[in-house]
Structure formats: C-alpha cells, structure tokens
Structure 1
C-alpha cells in the first residue's frame, strides 16, 4: 500500500504547478464590467427600445416592495427548499448508480438502457404523469426536479469511472491492491472531477425545471410568483423572479465550484 500511495503522489503536479486556487483580479474586473454593460444595455432597451420593458430601477423598486412585505423571501425559501431537496436526492442516487454502471459490466447492461431512455424524455414531459400518480402536493414538484438532477449527474459519474486511466488500475493490481482498494484509492479520486461537473450540470437542470415544477398547484415559490405576475402583465415582478433564480443558482454553483477546487487540488489547472 505504501507503493500504491507513492504511485498516486508521483502522478500529482508539484504545488508550483497548481493553478486556479484564487480567481485572478482581472477575471473579477471583467465580470463587473460585463454586469455594468448588461445593465446599460438593459436601460437603453427599456428607455428607447422595447415597449413595456421595465428599467433596472423599476425592477429594483419592485424588489424592494417584495422584500419589505416578505413575499420575495418566502418565495425564495420555498423554491430553494424544492431545488435543494430534489437536487440532493438526485445526486445521492446518481453517484452510486453511476459507479455501479461504470465498474460492473452487468450493472451497466441492466441500467444503461433505462438511463439513456429517460435522458431523451424532458423532465417537463413527466409533469402530467407525476400529477396523476402523486397528486398536487410537494412530492411531484420535488420528483420532477429530482429526475432532472439525477439524469445529469448519473451520466457524468458513469463516464468518469469509464475514463479512468487503465494504466493506473493495472499498476495498482501489479502492486497487489485488491479491487476494493483500487476502487477507493484510484477510481473514486479519478472520477471526482466528473462527478462534480455532473453535479453542476444537475444543479442547472434543477433550477431550469423549477418554474415548470411550480405549475403543479403551487401556492408559493419564485416560479409561482412569476406565473401569477404574467396574468397581470407585471413585468417587474417577473424580472425580480428571474434575477432571484439566477442569483441563487449562481451562488450555489460557486459553492460547488469551490468544492471542486478543494477536492481536485491535485489536478493541474490552466
């Protein structure tokens, strides 16, 4: 095992070669410039271009109203709860299923047809079936988000296991490592970057499915609030909902990106 550990360490880049630990200031400046430019274009379109389009100041004022009366916070917490529950359940199931498919040929043969089949069906198309089978409570909403997260993550995990360098596995076997040791010490670490990328894609799918999921007789949530605003042509509220979803999704993605950098610090980065 000492030799196996040494083998793993020898393949890791030197600390000096590690990059990307901190975002460079130039990237942050460019992000700020992009945001300011977007706000400027939005303001120009609202004032001289698209009729009925609210300005950033009008949207900010509406956001202040929704924050003051507690509506925005309540909707954000309701949507965040649904997304987190569906995303976590989907990821927790996708990782072991992906490992099984990648490590055992029998499991791959049994599970892959179902995974590939359901990947071709948009989760939104499952909504009518979910309503019939699960009612109109929280379960169908979470299930649709769970399905979107699961299908994104399971494929990435499976691909990560399949793409593990066979040289590392063969070298570990030559050194006397058991299958269990190879799986835990070689396959899992090598698959971690794929798993985390799959989680980020799954998170995006979860938020992308949220608005449609809240069509199922929801009484609160950002998607529900946007749909209600649509009935009254309240574009400012719709924009507030869109921005809230984007900000929450971005923050969660940044947390996953931070975890990715911590867990894959051994990788050489550009």
Structure 2
C-alpha cells in the first residue's frame, strides 16, 4: 500500500470518530455530564496549559513510565534470552513468572505501599509488575523462534553455545525483541492510572482519578486523550527506529 494512502486511511478513521463525537454532543443526544463536546475538552486543555497543570502532570507520568519500563526491560532481556536458549533457566523461572503474570497489578497496590511507601518508587514498582512478567515471556518466545536449522549449521562450524547465542540467535531474534519492547511500552502506558491510583498528587492518572470524584468529565477525556497521544508517539518512534535498524526485514512477508 502506498504510504500516502496508508496515512489517509488512518486519518479518515480518526476524523470520522471525531465527527460522530461532534454530532452526538451538538445534538445533545448524550448529556454533557457523560460526554462533553470537543470544545469543552479543548477549553480544559487550554486552561491546564495556561496554569501549567498539564506540563507538570505529563512530566511526572513520563518519568514514571520511562523508569518503570526501563527497569522491567533491563531485567526481562537477559532473563528472557536465557529462558529461550537454555531449558534449565526456562524450568527455573517460568513456573513463577506464569503464576505472577495472572495476578492483577492493581491487587499489588496495598502491598507496594507497605513495601516502598507512597513516593515514585511505589508507582514505578506497579508499572514494573504490570510489564515485566509479560515482557520476559515474549522475549523468551522471540529467542525460541530462531530456526533450529540455523543453530545446527552454526554448531557444525565449531561455534560454542555462547557464540551461537550471540552471533546467531540474538541477531535473528533482535527484530522481534524490538517489537516486544514497543508492545510492552504500550502496556506500561495502560498501567499508568493504576500506578497513580493512590497517594499521588501529580500525574495524568492522578488527574483522571481526581476529575472522576468531581464529575469533571472533560478533564477525564483530556487525560485519556493525552495518554493515548503520548503512547502513539512512542509507538511511532519505535516503528521508525525499527525501519532504520532492520532494513532487511520485509514485514509484509
């Protein structure tokens, strides 16, 4: 598909969504308390920009997201590689990881407060819990996806197990691992509201929860849109980096 048509299709769908929103609110088919119009959301955006609220919230949330995801990735990457390449490490880690990954991150909020207090450490820990246990299994699957024939051929050339891991397995799996980074960063954004649920006084998730208590629907929608846009920008950045780093990959097969 031509690049121009690709972007036009995406923009058209978003435009249609906004048009439906305008019609519903302009004709008052939905009460403003439940769905304010785009103008109300825009005025709330201007107010938060003018008062510095939005920049402060965005900065705090970006800091927490970045640190939580980086800690998760720095641990998930070596563990996932070892699990994907060595049966011993898979047997060692996978039962525990499978157990924890089905536990909802929100259930850990009281415990994380007891363990780390109510500062940024608690919020980063929630983001870590919500991301790490899925990410490590995805990286393991990326490594396991390397064709067995490539490993066997490399072995016949006298490469050691660790040389095969570095020169063959990692290079083949790296595009998939990069996509895993992109996907799990998106998951981290979805856990932001959970991370800022309790004992926060700044952040996009905090602002959404505060607006809920006062029925400030336009502020809720604005916060959701800002999180969505930030997530979209990070996703696009990862995709652009993918195309530059892995030019040989034909993603359409």
TM-score by length of 1: 0.88
Q: Which residue of 2 aligns with 1:43?
A: 22
Q: Which residue of 2 aligns with 1:135?
A: 117
Q: Which residue of 2 aligns with 1:249?
A: 231
- CA distance 1:93–1:188, change in 2 (3 Å): same
1:183-194 to 2 correspondence within 5 Å? 183-194=165-176
Does residue 1:112 correspond to 2:94, yes or no?
yes
Structure 1 residue matching 2:191: 3-state secondary structure:
helix
1:141-180 to 2 correspondence within 5 Å? 141-180=123-162
Does residue 1:68 correspond to 2:47, yes or no?
no
Deviation at residue 93 of structure 1 after TM alignment: 0.7
Give the structure, 1 or 2, with the largest relative contact order (CA under 8 Å, sep 6 or more). 1
List per-residue Cα deviations over 1:233-265 (Å, max 9, x = no partner): 111111110111001111111111122223332
Q: Which residue of 2 aligns with 1:83?
A: 65
2: CA distance, partners of 1:93 / 1:45: 47
Structure 1 residue matching 2:118: 3-state secondary structure:
coil
Q: Which residue of 2 aligns with 1:205?
A: 187
Does residue 1:24 correspond to 2:3, yes or no?
yes
2: CA distance, partners of 1:260 / 1:146: 24
Figure out how many residues of one structure are paired with residues of the other and give that number.
249
Structure 2 residue matching 1:228: 3-state secondary structure:
helix
2: CA distance, partners of 1:256 / 1:125: 30
Structure 2 residue matching 1:35: 3-state secondary structure:
helix
1: CA distance, partners of 2:240 / 2:125: 27
Displaced runs of 4 or more, over 6 A: none
List per-residue Cα deviations over 1:73-124 (Å, max 9, x = no partner): 0001101110010011101110101011111211111111111111111212
Q: Which residue of 1 aligns with 2:249?
A: 267
Structure 1 residue matching 2:239: 3-state secondary structure:
helix
Deviation at residue 45 of structure 1 after TM alignment: 1.6
Deviation at residue 34 of structure 1 after TM alignment: 1.3
2: CA distance, partners of 1:96 / 1:119: 18
2: CA distance, partners of 1:44 / 1:189: 51
TM-score by length of 2: 0.94
1: CA distance, partners of 2:91 / 2:166: 23
Q: Which residue of 2 aligns with 1:227?
A: 209
List per-residue Cα deviations over 1:201-222 (Å, max 9, x = no partner): 2112211111011012001001
Q: Specify every segment of 5 or more residues in structure 2 that has no aligned partner in the other structure, as ranges.
A: none
Q: Which residue of 2 aligns with 1:96?
A: 78
1: CA distance, partners of 2:46 / 2:203: 17
List per-residue Cα deviations over 1:9-32 (Å, max 9, x = no partner): xxxxxxxxxxx9xx7110111111
